[in-house]
């Protein structure tokens, strides 16, 4: 359904058509070693693919490009984002007799992710020479490398109450530069080594749970 002009920021006539995200084989392999009944070592590796977003209001959706020509160009020239994720760590689960604390479960893990064909919304014209930039396009801008560490633990206070807390550190950086514009106005944007916007360094999550009956 076409939007009413001006109903959301930048709304124009939306493109129509079909676009497919296809990866016939996404391998995954993992291993688990039960050390002593309480501690476990684990490791896994897997490949994944991200489907193209379909919302017309999403910034990284081909259906939000506002032009049938741009949509058709995207369909012919853009690849879906893929990733290889590698993770390893140790987890524990033990009963405790420390007054009100009756049990503990914890996990420490390290992960590394290699993203390929990362999508980015960019201007097709050089910001140095253009007075008015062209419509935003979506383009593959190379790879992104992510490294992170997770710390998570649950304290049990009897059979009915528990507190869970998880802390994560994340470092995501572009591995390549990309080019905007063409010909004499082509400009290389130096994104290599820079941090990916929208990916916080630190995350913390706390959950208190009560269960009875």
Contacts of 76 (CB under 8 A, 6+ apart): none
pLDDT tens over the chain, length 213 residues? 666 766 765 556 678 888 888 889 999 999 999 999 999 999 999 999 999 888 766 667 888 787 788 889 888 988 999 999 999 999 999 999 999 999 999 999 999 999 999 988 876 655 544 445 456 778 888 999 999 999 999 999 999 999 999 999 999 999 999 887 777 777 888 999 999 988 899 999 999 999 998
Half-sphere exposure of 63 (CA within 13 A, CB side): 16
| pLDDT for the residue numbered 130 | 47
Residue 10 pLDDT: 57
The structure's pTM equals: 0.79
Which pair of structure tokens corresponds to residue 157? 């206070």
pLDDT at 187: 84
pLDDT for the residue numbered 61:
84
Residue 155: predicted pLDDT:
97
d(CA 45, CA 112): 10
């Amino acid at each position: 359904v076409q939007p009413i002009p001006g109903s959301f920021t930048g709304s124009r006539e939306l493109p129509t058509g079909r676009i497919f995200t296809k990866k016939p084989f996404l391998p995954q392999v993992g291993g688990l070693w039960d050390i002593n009944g309480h501690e476990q070592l684990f490791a896994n590796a897997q490949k994944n693919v991200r489907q193209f977003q379909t919302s017309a209001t999403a910034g990284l959706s081909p259906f939000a490009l506002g032009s049938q020509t741009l949509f058709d160009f995207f369909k012919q020239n853009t690849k879906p984002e893929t990733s290889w994720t590698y993770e390893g760590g140790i987890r524990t689960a033990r009963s405790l007799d420390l007054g009100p604390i009756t049990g503990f479960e914890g996990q420490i893990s390290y992960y590394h992710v290699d993203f390929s064909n990362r999508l980015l919304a960019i201007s097709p014209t050089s910001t140095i020479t253009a007075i008015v930039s062209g419509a935003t396009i979506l383009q593959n801008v190379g790879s992104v490398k992510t490294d992170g560490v997770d710390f998570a633990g649950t304290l049990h206070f009897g059979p009915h109450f528990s507190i869970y807390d998880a802390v994560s550190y994340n470092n995501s950086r572009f591995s390549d530069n990309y080019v905007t514009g063409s010909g004499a106005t082509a400009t290389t944007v130096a994104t290599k080594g820079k941090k990916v916007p929208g990916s916080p360094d630190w995350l913390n999550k706390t959950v208190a749970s009560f269960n009875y009956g």
